[in-house]
Amino acid sequence: MTLLVHDVTLTYPDGDARLTALDRVGLEVAAGEVVAVVGPSGSGKSSLLAVAATLVTPDSGRVVVAGQDTAGLSAAEKSALRRERIGIVFQQPSLLAALTAAEQLQVMAHLAGRPSRGLRRRALELLDAVGLADKADKRPHQLSGGQRQRVNIARALMNEPAVLLVDEPTSALDHERGAAVLDLLVGLTRERSTATVLVTHDRGHLAAADRVTAMHDAHLTPA
Ligand code: ADP
Ligand code: MG
């Protein structure tokens, strides 16, 4: 299993008490598979992605990414694992204003310490895969919201992640553009064999997923 979240409980401090964001949650995602997570606001969806991304350490339970058990990894080891094995797409594309679309991708590979040779070619190939071949030299302000989100997705794939975590990628887009971004994510998952977790509240998009799970009050169940 490329992504394994096993029996994870996560609490946050809440005044004198603790708020349970994830209550014994389990999730397994294979390479090439898209699992959707739906659920109301505040139910724990983003917390699940944060745990799977190793950005947050759960109170208990296990997270295994591409065969690597993340328990006991140092902060530096986790950050290396994130850079090299995990692609993360957040709700709002956080692109760097000064960089072109191609450079947004290239910088990811630089951060991961990859040799610069061939990086531009790889960035162009990914931008082509998300339908932005002709926008490689545009800066974020020259792109539409949907185009920026596609750059964001291409960027998450730059280091060939095993796991792709996507949090409400279409919330800033209209329905049609949102559907196109979802189709793109499913296509890329198959083509690049990522284990993809897709948080969405747009139920109209769920047909594209291989499996749908529902988060409710910190619990995850098949939908
Ligand atoms: P969703 O993504 O489904 O809207 P979240 O995972 O963001 O849900 O939040 C789940 C619960 O945890 C909510 O009650 C939220 O207020 C709380 N929460 C999320 N992040 C934090 C945090 N960093 N500190 C404290 N409470 C948090
Ligand atoms: Mg959220």
What is the whole-number distance in angstroms between the Cα of residue 42 and the centre of ligand 1? 6
pLDDT tens-digit readout, 180-204: 888 889 999 999 999 999 998 777 7
Mean pLDDT value of segment 53-76? 96
29-43, 86-100, 163-177, range with the lowest pLDDT: 163-177
Q: Has residue 223 got a pLDDT over 90? A: no
Mean pLDDT value of segment 109-127? 92
**Mean pLDDT taken over the chain:** 93
Q: How many residues does the chain have?
A: 223
13-22, 90-99, 170-179, range with the lowest pLDDT: 170-179
CB distance 15 to ligand 1 below 6 Å? no
Q: Which atom of ligand 1 is nearest to the CA of 46?
A: 2
Q: Which ligand lies nearest the alpha carbon of 51? A: 1
**Best mutation site among 8, 19, 49, 59 for ligand 1 pocket (most ligand atoms within 8 Å of CB):** 19
* Distance of alpha carbon 50 from alpha carbon 45, whole angstroms: 9
As a whole number of Å, the end-to-end CA separation of the chain is 21
Q: Which CATH superfamily groups domain 3-222? A: P-loop containing nucleotide triphosphate hydrolases (3.40.50.300)
Per-residue model confidence (pLDDT) at position 210: 95
HSE value, Cβ hemisphere, 13 Å, CA-based, for 49: 24
**Best mutation site among 47, 165, 171, 199 for ligand 1 pocket (most ligand atoms within 8 Å of CB):** 47
Per-residue model confidence (pLDDT) at position 43: 97
Write the DSSP symbol of residue 2: -
What is the whole-number distance in angstroms between the Cα of residue 166 and the centre of ligand 2? 10
Mean pLDDT value of segment 103-131? 93
Of residues 207 and 148, the one with the higher pLDDT is: 148
- Reported as a pLDDT band with limits 50, 70 and 90, residue 170 is confident
Mean pLDDT value of segment 145-159? 93
Q: Has residue 17 got a pLDDT over 80? A: yes
Residue nearest atom 5 of ligand 1, based on CA coordinates: 44
Mean pLDDT value of segment 40-65? 97
Per-residue model confidence (pLDDT) at position 56: 96
Per-residue model confidence (pLDDT) at position 182: 86
Q: Which atom of ligand 1 is nearest to the CA of 48?
A: 6
Q: Which one, of 202, 95, 72, lies nearest residue 145 by Cα?
A: 95
Contact between 165 and 188 under an 8 Å Cβ cutoff? The reply is no
